Structure 1
Amino acid sequence: MQTKNKSNGHGETLTAKDFATDQDVRWCPGCGDYSILKQIQTILPSIKVPRENIVFISGIGCSSRFPYYMNTYGMHSIHGRAGAIVSGLKAVNPELDIWMITGDGDSLSIGGNHLIHLLRRNFNLNIVLFNNQIYGLTKGQYSPTSPKGQISKSTPFGSVDRPFNPITLALGSEGTFVARAIDRNPVHMREILSAAHDHKGASFIEIYQNCNVFNDGAFEEFTDKSLKDQNTLYLENGKPLLFDNDSKGIILEGFKPVIVDMDSYSPDDCWIHDEEDKIKASILAEFFDYTEERGKLPRPFGVFYKNQRNTYEQVFQDQIDLYRSKREADLDSLLSGNNFWEVK
């Protein structure tokens, strides 16, 4: 079985340009989708998988135009059903290197059920969810990740829904690799995409992606030069949780994260990130909420959690092989046996 980091059997050296098609890229000028497209095209040569073994499958949404721009096999499918398509494709063609491109409207609304079971089954593939907290393709309705109070064309007085948190959803669905990146930090995004691809199992990456037409500035506090240092926390396995140019850290009081001034603490006193600790990953995923007592918690970016367990397609194939070994195929016996019926 071919894994996701299999070397290129053709011996050809590929570049990012080899993964770009001759199609005009049709997103709004300034859209964060351009950055994600560029970073994925940039990392693909390093994974050394032949292009004919790479497949991009998308659903519906602005992000789902992605397969048109990738010089690989691909399919622009229907709303919310990309998860079902990649599941079937990977089950019967486990050698394929599959990327599922989706958005917060595509996979967290009509496609939510498929996403949950895709993660639960742990197919060896990559799920990239573009989160712009709005329905962009259909012109600005609120989405499952829009914050409470969001003014949109479908919520003129403000959304009353509590939004989905994609990271907690992925953790609750038994995802084996759960991470977050942002469109304005391409170097970090490439690191996360490469780590996700190296993982053997279902890799889930949420990418904050600015929709500069219908929801511009949704993630400004994480990208503006004057704001981002105090509002972002970049996770590194085995490293303490430090932010704001290492002037602040985070400690745990029981299960409660607390911000501390590093003038009074050492890095060894801080919470040390462990990618294999699901309980702590769940706490990190909830850094959306804060109180005046503990201060505003920074938003984590990086790998929240990863672990290894059997992939669906491998267990599925093992089962087929086992029962094939127990049965001897005999076409003559089948045709001349007692299992027949008469059509009148």
Structure 2
Amino acid sequence: MENNTIYTAKDFKSDQYVRWCPGCGDHAVVNTLQKAMAELGIPPHMTAVISGIGCSSRLPYYMNTYGFHTIHGRASAIATGVKVANPELTVWQITGDGDCLAIGGNHFIHAVRRNVDLNIILLNNKIYGLTKGQYSPTSDRGAVTKSSPYGTVEDPFIPAELAFGARGTFFARSIDVDLSVAKEVMVEAARHKGASVVEILQNCVIFNDKIHSFVADKEFRAERTIHLKHGEKMLFGKNNEKGLVLDGLKLKVVTIGKNGVTLDDILTHDVTDQDGTLHRMLAMMDGHELPLAVGVIRSVEAPVYDQEVKAQVESVRAQTNKRTLREYLLTRDTWEVK
């Protein structure tokens, strides 16, 4: 049914007081998500927001949509159930690096592998905030936290690497302070058919303040991040004077006008490249030797799990006249116990 209603962010705001620490990056995320939903034009009653446990997982309370604050690590599983049970709903999963990649890691990779039509917003602050500052699966090696007072002795998960390893069809990234890019990737995630993973680099002012400042601070964000756009040259820098090229099998930063480099030499971004090799390379850049990639990095078509399930159910129904569970069970092998 066509919907001609024009929505604003206010239509998606609940009447609940927002209970996050002042300065927490989650404030920007919920406000941006409400604006993205308004732009999409999908009614609140056709939208569901599912979360697990953690600071970010409080977000459903602040949305004037259907919502479910579930249990630790199980948001992907429950969101999958919601989408399969009612494919017409637009389903958002809100999760944190601890909730999603520790206890919830298995559910996450299988939701991505199955290509369930979910919009997964993964807020990554590299710390457990709600439980007061333990290191998380994305904390850097050597991170000093409440549970690693002498520094961690393990390497972190990289969300992009997990998503690509699970054959993800959509991956995007933004920073909590870059609201325009954050809204852009949320809108594109919702328009994608299949599992969309959006990593938001988010700041925890209490337990991991400025963890992303190396790329997030405005004074050098232009030099350490690259905003990728489909069909456009991979340019960055304060004056877009730098770009990315392939040097053998690796990406390399070059400056236009130096050593004979021209705009034509710079790579053009193609989010639809099924091969995905270049997408992986772009997603793994970290802002040091190569700029951190933000924007939509990958968006390809593939069979969608919930659509496949719906089609299968309709196909089986068309081939049988059994319409109740009892009728179906009585067509199978039966035993009588006396």
Q: 1:99-178 alignment to 2 at 5 Å?
A: 99-178=92-171
Specify the alignment match of 2:252 in structure 1: 258
- AA of the residue aligned to 2:216: T
- AA of the residue aligned to 1:247: E
Aligned residue for 1:227, secondary structure, equals helix
- AA of the residue aligned to 1:273: H
Specify the alignment match of 1:225 in structure 2: 218
CA contact (8 A) 1:152 1:158 kept: yes
CA contact (8 A) 1:7 1:49 kept: no
Task: Extract unaligned runs of 5+ from structure 1.
Answer: 1-5, 291-295
- AA of the residue aligned to 2:114: R
Is the counterpart of residue 82 in structure 1 residue 42 in structure 2?
Answer: no
Please give the alpha-carbon distance, in whole angstroms, between the structure 2 residues aligned to 1:262 and 1:98.
Answer: 43
CA contact (8 A) 1:107 1:115 kept: yes
Aligned length, in residue pairs: 332
Specify the alignment match of 1:192 in structure 2: 185
Deviation at 1:172, TM superposition (A): 1.1
Please give the alpha-carbon distance, in whole angstroms, between the structure 2 residues aligned to 1:318 and 1:25.
Answer: 41
Please give the alpha-carbon distance, in whole angstroms, between the structure 1 residues aligned to 2:292 and 2:35.
Answer: 26
- AA of the residue aligned to 2:118: L
Is the counterpart of residue 15 in structure 1 residue 8 in structure 2?
Answer: yes
CA contact (8 A) 2:80 2:118 kept: no
2:268 is aligned, of 255, 259, 272, to 272
Please give the alpha-carbon distance, in whole angstroms, between the structure 1 residues aligned to 2:5 and 2:148.
Answer: 52
Specify the alignment match of 2:197 in structure 1: 204
Query: How high is the TM-score relative to the length of structure 1?
Result: 0.91
Please give the alpha-carbon distance, in whole angstroms, between the structure 2 residues aligned to 1:272 and 1:150.
Answer: 36
CA contact (8 A) 1:21 1:71 kept: yes
Task: Extract unaligned runs of 5+ from structure 2.
Answer: none
Sequence identity percentage: 46
CA contact (8 A) 2:271 2:296 kept: yes
CA contact (8 A) 2:215 2:287 kept: no
Deviation at 1:340, TM superposition (A): 5.5
Please give the alpha-carbon distance, in whole angstroms, between the structure 2 residues aligned to 1:280 and 1:297.
Answer: 14
Please give the alpha-carbon distance, in whole angstroms, between the structure 2 residues aligned to 1:192 and 1:335.
Answer: 47
Q: 1:68-79 alignment to 2 at 5 Å?
A: 68-79=61-72
Aligned residue for 1:221, secondary structure, equals helix
Specify the alignment match of 1:293 in structure 2: none
CA contact (8 A) 1:7 1:48 kept: no
Deviation at 1:338, TM superposition (A): 10
Deviation at 1:167, TM superposition (A): 0.9
Runs of 4+ in 1 over 4 A off after TM superposition: 330-341
Deviation at 1:51, TM superposition (A): 1.4
Specify the alignment match of 2:283 in structure 1: 285
- AA of the residue aligned to 1:266: T
Specify the alignment match of 1:55 in structure 2: 48
